[in-house]
């Protein structure tokens, strides 16, 4: 696992182990320099947790190892949830770097391991289109997209998230990049926030839509597609003339072609023309196992939305 990451990344900030794709089903390990955050989702991996910690100490010299064993899958395996610092000391906000941008992650209290490395390449693609632009980052969490937009020269970024604590970390990330004065936080439901912004006739040059998985299981596909349709429609309505929509999905059950269809249908409904000029996948630290389709789950599109005439 390490040899692949060292071949692909120049800084030790990445997903070190991606479950089945690295031959370690039920195990995820994210690396933040010398702090390692371990997620275990199966009883088999839970049975060898001491060996996992021993292997990390053998291959690396960890400053700290955190066990974030609180994922939804554990209950189906009959496992209890817990968060534990297995060794060392962990700061409240853990420093790391992505796309050359210094950042902080709440590895003990945030979602999953504290950060989502999978969109690294897509955020880098987004950075090319935000200089001098006003940006809206929906479902922003701790500012993964928004703060990197600020670092790339956006004149203003509004981060929208339901979590006040996540927005507090996003502000810290903006401050770390000397961009606090260009950062705006809006706490609340993204759908409601978009409706309010539309009512206030707000416009943005770039709108980023990277929601949590609206489709957790196959039976959720219909309702989930409806949610993706609604949020992409609202996002397009907030775009200024010739604006750019970044539309992403981490739902394994939403096919890439279906998200393209949702983008197309919304543009048509709003009497716009959509041009997809960049398409993204998950980064190299989330390798795809060719025999396991579920490991190929991430989709991202950069879309220019033009008036139809």
DSSP state at residue 174 = H
Work out the number of other CB atoms within 10 angstroms of the CB of residue 97. Answer: 15
Q: CA dist 219 to 4, 71, 222, Å?
A: 35, 20, 7
Work out the number of other CB atoms within 10 angstroms of the CB of residue 114. Answer: 25
Q: Does the annotation count 194 as an active-site position? A: no
Please, are residues 272 and 237 in contact by the beta-carbon 8 Å criterion? no
CA distance 64 to 96: 14
Rounded to 10 degrees, the C-alpha dihedral 172/178/179/184 comes to 30
Choose the catalytic residue: 13, 69, 194, 250: 250
The structure tokens listed for 295 are 């490991």
Report the candidate in 58, 184, 66 with the shortest Cα–Cα distance to residue 114.
66
Please, are residues 226 and 220 in contact by the beta-carbon 8 Å criterion? no
User: Which amino acids are annotated catalytic?
Assistant: 250
């Amino acid at each position: 696992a390490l040899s692949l990451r060292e071949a692909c990344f120049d800084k030790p900030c990445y997903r070190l182990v991606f479950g089945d794709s690295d031959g370690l089903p039920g195990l995820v390990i994210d690396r933040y320099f010398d702090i390692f955050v371990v997620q275990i989702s199966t009883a088999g991996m839970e049975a060898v947790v001491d060996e996992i910690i021993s292997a990390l100490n053998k291959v690396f010299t960890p400053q700290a190892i955190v066990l974030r064993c609180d994922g939804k899958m554990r209950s189906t395996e009959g496992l209890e949830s817990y968060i534990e610092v297995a060794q060392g000391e962990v700061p409240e906000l853990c420093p790391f770097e992505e796309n050359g941008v210094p950042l902080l992650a709440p590895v003990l209290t945030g979602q999953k391991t504290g950060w989502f490395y999978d969109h690294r390449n897509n955020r880098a693609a987004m950075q090319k289109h935000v200089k001098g632009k006003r940006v809206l980052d929906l479902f922003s969490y701790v500012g993964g997209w928004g703060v990197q937009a600020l670092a790339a020269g956006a004149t203003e970024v509004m981060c929208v998230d339901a979590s006040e604590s996540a927005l507090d970390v996003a502000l810290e990330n903006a401050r770390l990049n000397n961009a606090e004065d260009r950062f705006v936080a809006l706490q609340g439901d993204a759908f409601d926030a978009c409706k309010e912004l539309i009512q206030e006739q707000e416009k943005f040059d770039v709108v980023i839509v990277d929601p949590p998985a609206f489709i957790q299981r196959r039976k959720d596909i219909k309702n989930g597609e409806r949610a993706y349709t609604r949020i992409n429609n609202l996002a397009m309505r907030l775009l200024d003339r010739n604006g750019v929509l970044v539309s992403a999905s981490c739902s394994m059950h939403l096919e890439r072609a279906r998200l393209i269809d949702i983008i197309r249908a919304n543009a048509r409904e709003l009497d716009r023309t959509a041009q997809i000029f960049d398409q993204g996948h998950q980064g190299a630290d989330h390798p795809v196992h060719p025999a396991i389709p579920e490991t190929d789950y991430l989709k991202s599109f950069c879309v220019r939305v033009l008036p139809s005439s």
